[in-house]
Amino acid sequence: MTALTLWLTDPNPSSRRQARLGQAWLAWLRLRRNPLAMLGLFIIAGLCLTAAAAPVFAPQDPFAQNLAERLLPPGTPGHWLGTDDFGRDIWSRIVHGARITLVIVALVAVTAPLIGLLIGTVAGYFGGWVDSVLMRITDIFLAFPRLILALALVAVLGPGVQNAVLAIALTAWPPYARVARAETLTVRNSDYIAAVRLQGAGAGRIIWGHVVPMCLPSVIIRVTLDMAGVILIAAGLGFLGLGVQPPLPEWGLMISSGRKFLFEQWWVATMPGLAIFTVSLGFNLLGDGLRDVLDPRSASR
């Protein structure tokens, strides 16, 4: 391990691969010194593990109904988080709901930043009328609250997981476009960009090979911080009946079905609400830690 550490921290790397791995190792060391960021990473890792091994962690079938055991309180043998109004085990439904949450987060994290990164880098690099047109389109999307716009899109597309992901992605890309454009404006007139242009590289090669990598750290930070908002919007769509449909154990849908029992059987809506709170907190803590690691202005302070 000592030899590997010395190889990673070598101030004179012999290859590009060694340099990149060394930078990643130093970033991990800085992240590891932040206890709140490690707590967030632990929560997100727990979400991924729970989603991957849901049948192992869930003691019962999340869809199995047993009206004889409906609305059992937490701490009941076999139902340590209680049961809902159909007698379904709340813990098992929360565990399987982690899969749905992770799928939505992953799909939005793959689609929305790519759309925003493409639009932002193209607008910032070319400038002129291209920048004006793309940024005015971005301003139109930013003029509407994300949840309201997502509700309108889902109302047109219809309820369901796929349509909910599409609606959230179509409303989440404008901030990434703004971030990418700002980063592109700072580097498009740099000396190394001019040198690459003099070597005959086209606009596509410059944007993809040199501008996009400079924008990635800011976009990654933004993605991590935005995932809490994505979870809340997905839960809001499920709560209103426009997202994931019954009987799937989506957390927002579980809160919606349990709100009528909130005063007497509080656990039906509270437990999935705590799951949303915990995962959202994990993404925010991890995002703050990544900002300290990846943002050179924060790292220098």
In angstroms, how far is CA 184 from the centroid of its own chain? 23
Q: What does the pLDDT look like over 110-167, one tens digit per residue?
A: 899 999 999 999 999 998 899 999 999 999 998 888 888 888 888 888 888 888 888 8
At residue 299, the pLDDT reads 46
Judged against a pLDDT cut of 60, whether residue 297 lies above it is answered with no
Q: What is the pLDDT of residue 43?
A: 95
CA–CA distance, 233 with 164 (Å, rounded to integer):
9
Helix, strand, coil shares of the chain as percentages rounded to 5? 75, 0, 25
What is the structure's pLDDT at 123?
92
Q: Decide if pLDDT at 292 tops 90.
A: no
Q: What is the mean pLDDT of residues 253-265?
A: 89
Please tell me the CATH superfamily of domain 42-299, with its number: MetI-like (1.10.3720.10)
3-state secondary structure at position 244: coil
Q: Is 22 exposed, middle or buried (0-12, 13-18, 19+ CB in 10 A)?
A: middle
Cβ atoms of residues 224 and 283 within 8 Å? yes
pLDDT digits (tens, 9 = 90+) for 198-251: 888 888 888 888 888 888 888 888 888 889 889 999 998 888 888 888 888 999
Task: Answer yes or no: are the C-beta atoms of 115 and 138 closer than 8 Å.
Answer: no
Instruction: Give yes or no for residue 296 having a pLDDT over 80.
Output: no
Which pTM value belongs to this model?
0.86
Average pLDDT over every residue of 288-299 = 72
The single residue listed with the structure tokens 């592109």 is 184
Residue 267 clears pLDDT 70, i.e. is over it? yes
**Cα separation of 290 and 268, whole Å?**
35
- Which two three-digit tokens encode residue 254? 């579980």
How is the chain split into domains, by residue range? 42-299
